Structure formats: C-alpha cells, structure tokens
Structure 1
Amino acid sequence: MPSFDLPTRPGRFAVAVPEHWATFDVAHEQLVTARREAMTGAGSAQERVQIDELFAHAKRVTSAARKAGALWGAGTATVYDDGFFVGQVMLFAVTAPDPATFTTPAMSAALGGGRGTGTADLPPRTVTAVRLGDGTGATRVCGQEEVQATDAQRVRVLVSHTFVPVPGTGDEFILVTGLSPNLALEEEVLDLFDAIAGTFRFLPA
C-alpha cells in the first residue's frame, strides 16, 4: 500500500487500489496512454464513444484538479471475456463540503473546470455514514451523475464520494471519488469503490 504526503494535518495517508490499476498522480501523459490502450481494446463503436467521453471528462477534471493541488489518482481500462471496464479513483483535499448535495460537476466547477451541473432524470443517490477499515467515520454518497464530457456530449457515470474528516481540523476533508461509465455493473462497481475507499487511512506525521 503506497503512502503519500498530505499538505495538511496529520501529514500523510495511505490508500490501496487493485494491483493492475495504474497510478497516474493526475498526470496528463499517463491519461493519454490509458486512453490509447482502452481504445485498442474496445469491441464496438459505441464502446469507443463511451471511452472517449469518459477520458475527455477525466482529462478536464484532472487538469483542473492538478492546478488546485489534487493529491493522487489511479485508474484502469481493462478488457475481460464478458466486457470492458473503465474506472478511476481520485483523492482531493476539500473544505467543509455538504456531502448530501455534492456532485462531480460541482467538484469540477469548484476546481475551475466545470461546465454545467447536469439536469438529467437520475435515480436518487444514497448518503450513508460508513466506517473505514481503520474505524474512521466517514460520509459516503453513491449513485449516478451526468457530467459534461465534451462541449457537445454528456455522459452518465457511476460515482462514489467518500468524505473522510481530517483529524484536528473540524472543516477539512479528504474526498475519495470513484467514477465509472459501466452503468450495467452498478452494484459491483460501487462495491469496488467502497472497498478502495475503505483502505484509506491517515499515517503518523
């Protein structure tokens, strides 16, 4: 499990993702490589459009996030016998958000990259109190969101936002956000994102 510097108290944190995921520290070059590999493995034109939409959104969000000091990111574009999976997890330092109303477009807008909040008729999201693997209490928001992938296209994605309070601050959080366009695998994808967020822990300074 890698650990990373945290530019606020208590100093460092650790989080784990599946071994085959690529960590890209919100680097543009690695997003480009991941998109190329995903396109190579796509089995249909519809799949290629979906991949293109997701990576366009990821590029915009990660570019804005990098400027705003995002902490870390990882993702995968994997071909399986029965389909294709694209997933991304990113970590942000945020101040006093309202988990009940927080969305990916709101995050993108707050970071300087937003283009609309989305008005699609989406299923209700769930907001729950959770315990991470080390016993830390957190708030989790799960469901579907519509994001602006390009100027002309919107894409619906599965999201899981986990808000972890930074000890000793009162209004600072680490936000663990997972995104995937694989709507047909909602239960499995959200379980995966929940498991990844559950590995998050703060380390001694």
Structure 2
Amino acid sequence: MALVGRKLDRLEETANMIGATAETLVLQADVADEAQIEAVFARAVNHYGQLDLLFNNAGTSAPKAAIDMVDLRHFNRVLATNVTGAFLCARAAFRQMKTQDPQGGRIINNGSVSAHVPRPNGAPYTISKHAITGLTRQISLDGRPYNIACGQIDIGNAATGVADNLNAGMLQPDGRTSPEPVMPLASVAEAVRCMAGLPLDSNIQFMTIMATQMPFIGRG
C-alpha cells in the first residue's frame, strides 16, 4: 500500500491508524503537480512491481459564496486539487495498468453527493465533483480494452473533520440553517473496501453512501 498526499504528518497518522507495515510507502506529493505525481507512481511501481488499485481521494473546497462572489483564486485552487489532481493520478495509474502483466486494475474516484445535487453557495466544489463523474465515465470507457475498471463513490455527511460544521448547522436551500445527521467514517471505509474487493470482471460504477436522514433526496 502507498499513501500519497501533501501533509506528511497526516499521512503518517493514517499509516499508524491502519497498522501499516514496513511494506507501506508514505509518499509526500502535491497531487496537482505533474512531476511529483509521476515520481511517486514510479517509486510505488518500482517497490511493488505492479499497481492493482488507485483510490483517488484528495480533495478540497472553497469558502462559501454565491457564484457572482466566488474568488477566482479559490475556484482555481479547488479545480487544481479536485480535478487536475484526480486526472494526473488516474492518468499515471491507467498507463501502468495498461502496460503491466497481468494487464488491468481498478480506479475508484471519490466524488460527492454534490456530483448530483449542489449545496447553496458551493459552485467551485460542485463543479469539480461533476467533473469527476465525467472522468469516471471516460476511464470506464477507455479502460475496457485493457481490463481497467473504474467506479465512483459519492459520499454524503460522514464523521470527518467537517462533522463539527454539520452538527452546528448547514445552510439549506430554503434559507434555514439546520444541523445535519452524519454517518460513521467506518461505513465509508467499508463501502470503499466493497468496491475495491470485487474481481475485475465486476464493477460498481456509481455508489452513493450517506447518512440515512441527511437532506439529499429533495435536498433541503
């Protein structure tokens, strides 16, 4: 297993949480930097000999603002991480999976329920997650001849670092601010494990996992 991200302390924290062994690589890189991504994928493949799975999980968001008030700096930063970063990682994985023997592998993209329905004042994030759906579909199509499967998991309210905001109250489309239910992070991990554990002749194309009572269907 290789863990890749910008913040080395968070990567090491994750490695400790999962009980990583000496075989686990902790690789610091900015997913939006082409040279850094090419280097970490080359190092991982050199270490393990092949690449079976990519979970495209890096993501960020922007300060909440109506679309006419969105700062271009924030928009570009979100797209750099959420779209360019996902593309660069998927491209590197696809190249390896296409040429290795045995051929093939699986790519799982982390979308969001915002890939289906937006939150108020969330244009940069919503746009980026709709782009992930396009990336997922394209990889699924282009990967068919090479036994490369691609799916997307769209995650709703989970007990991560943003749970405090959800508990405190989120702006709803009708103008109210209301707390929203969250689901255990373990539920998300189990869903990803389910997708990752399938044989390559089977694929979960799109999965939505969410807190049962959160506003999503008919959001707000």
Normalized against structure 2, the TM-score is what? 0.29
Q: Which has the higher contact order (CA 8 A, sep 6+)?
A: 1
More helix by share: 2
- Which of structures 1 and 2 has the bigger CA Rg? 2
More strand by share: 1
Normalized against structure 1, the TM-score is what? 0.30
